[in-house]
Amino acid sequence: MIVVAKIGSSSLTNAAGVIDEQAIAKLCVEVAGLRATGHGVVVVTSGAIAAGQPALGLDGARPTDLATLQAISAVGQSRLMRVYDDALGASGLVGGQVLLTPLDFHPAHRKQYLHARQTLTRLLELGVVPVVNENDAIADDEIRFGDNDRLAALVANMVDAAVLVLLTDTPGMLTADPRLDSDASLIEEIIEVDHELERVAGSRGTDRGSGGMASKLAAAKIASWSGVRAVIASAGRPGVLADAVAGESGVGTVVRPHDRRLPARKLWIAFAVGSSGTVVVDDGARTALVERNTSLLPAGVVDVEGTFDTDDAVEIAGRDGRVFAKGLVRHPSQRVAEWGGRRTSDLPPDLPHEVVHRDDLVVLP
């Protein structure tokens, strides 16, 4: 069994942003415990920016400009890996750094995806613990994850993991924000992530992190649709990794895997890439897309919202405004608007006629 364990900056650093070596040592001891029982483990870690900040004397609030964040990450990443190397080595393990970007998962960059998967698979075969982080030092602000929760979920899909453990500074997902409601209690099991749960999760992270419960729930949703069991649990809980893998009651919030498993390409389209606009379709087109798995043709388009280019991701909504699908468009927004309602026989023969091809379209859960 392969386990992916993700730990965030708030669980790895103290209030000053300095790396908490004891926290990493605890994690690595637990990783060694899983390895001793025959499991392969991939660690997805945050902390480079939080670690680099004090090293450069940049105390206080986290900078917001891209160039500074990239520079801080470059400084902090080596410091972060040094601690991991020492902690893993103390348990007789070897770590291997793997820095990834969203483009490594993008459907248009299949070779990069295959190379990344091959590297992670071979590291596991060699008995190495891959330590994965987003490549913040070179990532474009418009083409990046921004948090490592989604990255961890996509890595879990990439390596065919059985369990994704999202370690945080709370016992799991609670019924309310414990900072605002003292009666908040642990949600132990989630069968389906719905809008109400997403509302409860909110969107705020900590000063030292970029995620928060909303991003962890989103990652758990991706994992669920990958056929991976996800567990949101406290990094400080003793034996948390072993308990999460064993399915111990009360270990945290367990999000059950979905019966229907999306392939990596459609998983990316559905959950990992932001939408640049919306294509509104009529009832006939909606029925064809949902029930017959067809491509979206211009004849079914009634409106276009936003501005997008070829190969951008767009949401597809019905006349009622409800989004029911998502896909990669084959034409820019202006052309889609011009072609809306027209039959295939009326379109130029030298251009693809699909607005969204069925291979690039996902009917959303």
- Does residue 170 share a domain with residue 84? yes
More confident site: 278 or 10: 278
Q: What is the pLDDT of residue 209?
A: 45
Q: What is the pLDDT of residue 205?
A: 46
71: left (phi over 0), alpha (psi -120 to 50) or beta: alpha
Beta pairing partners, 338: none
**Whether the Cβ atoms of residue 1 and residue 39 lie closer than 8 Å to each other:** yes
Chosen domain end from 218, 242, 266: 266
Q: Quick one: 70 exposed, middle or buried, by C-beta within 10 A (0-12, 13-18, 19+)?
A: middle
Residue with tokens 């602000």: 141
Chosen domain end from 220, 238, 266: 266
Contacts with 279 (C-beta within 8 Å, 6 or more apart), sequence order: 296, 301, 303, 304, 305, 314, 315, 316, 317, 329, 336, 355, 356
- 52, pLDDT greater than 90: no
Per-residue pLDDT, averaged over 125-153, amounts to: 81
Q: What is the pLDDT of residue 144?
A: 56
- 231, pLDDT greater than 90: yes
Token pair in block for residue 69: 């964040």
- 204, pLDDT greater than 70: no
Q: What is the pTM of this model?
A: 0.85
More confident site: 80 or 260: 80
DSSP label of 320: T
- 230, pLDDT greater than 80: yes
The DSSP element (H or E) to which 288 belongs, if any, is: helix 283-292
More confident site: 141 or 50: 50
Q: What is the pLDDT of residue 361?
A: 95
Token pair in block for residue 181: 């409601």
Q: Quick one: 303 exposed, middle or buried, by C-beta within 10 A (0-12, 13-18, 19+)?
A: middle
Q: What is the pLDDT of residue 97?
A: 97
- Does residue 294 share a domain with residue 240? no
Q: Among 144-158, 192-206, 213-227, whose mean pLDDT is lowest?
A: 192-206
Chosen domain end from 232, 266, 300: 266
Q: What is the pLDDT of residue 354?
A: 96
- Does residue 165 share a domain with residue 91? yes
Domain containing residue 341: 274-363
Report the C-alpha gap between 65 and 57 in whole angstroms: 17
- Does residue 329 share a domain with residue 223? no
Contacts with 32 (C-beta within 8 Å, 6 or more apart), sequence order: 88, 91, 92, 93
- Does residue 339 share a domain with residue 230? no
pLDDT, tens digit (0-9, with 9 covering 90-100), for 147-193: 789 999 999 999 999 999 999 988 999 988 777 777 889 999 998 88
Report the C-alpha gap between 327 and 181 in whole angstroms: 39
Q: What is the pLDDT of residue 99?
A: 94
Question: How far is C-alpha 214 from the chain's CA centre?
Answer: 11
- Does residue 257 share a domain with residue 298? no
- 214, pLDDT greater than 60: yes
Q: What is the pLDDT of residue 167?
A: 96
pLDDT, tens digit (0-9, with 9 covering 90-100), for 315-353: 999 999 999 999 999 999 999 999 999 999 999 998 999
Indicate which CATH number applies to the domain containing 198. Answer: 3.40.1160.10
- Does residue 220 share a domain with residue 93? yes
Report the C-alpha gap between 322 and 318 in whole angstroms: 6
- Does residue 229 share a domain with residue 208? yes
Q: What is the pLDDT of residue 142?
A: 46
Q: What is the pLDDT of residue 195?
A: 77
Q: What is the pLDDT of residue 143?
A: 43
Q: What is the pLDDT of residue 203?
A: 47
- Does residue 296 share a domain with residue 161? no
3-class secondary-structure state, position 18: coil
Q: What is the pLDDT of residue 264?
A: 81
Q: What is the pLDDT of residue 211?
A: 52
Q: What is the pLDDT of residue 283?
A: 96
- 26, pLDDT greater than 60: yes
Count: domains in the chain: 2
Per-residue pLDDT, averaged over 42-56, amounts to: 89
Report the C-alpha gap between 212 and 168 in whole angstroms: 9
- Does residue 295 share a domain with residue 241? no
- Does residue 215 share a domain with residue 105? yes
Per-residue pLDDT, averaged over 58-67, amounts to: 80
Torsion angles phi and psi, residue 87, rounded to 5: -70, -40
Contacts with 91 (C-beta within 8 Å, 6 or more apart), sequence order: 28, 29, 31, 32
Q: Quick one: 156 exposed, middle or buried, by C-beta within 10 A (0-12, 13-18, 19+)?
A: buried
Indicate which CATH number applies to the domain containing 284. Answer: 2.30.130.10
Q: What is the pLDDT of residue 210?
A: 45
- 77, pLDDT greater than 70: yes
Per-residue pLDDT, averaged over 101-116, amounts to: 83
Average pLDDT along the chain: 89
- Does residue 216 share a domain with residue 234? yes
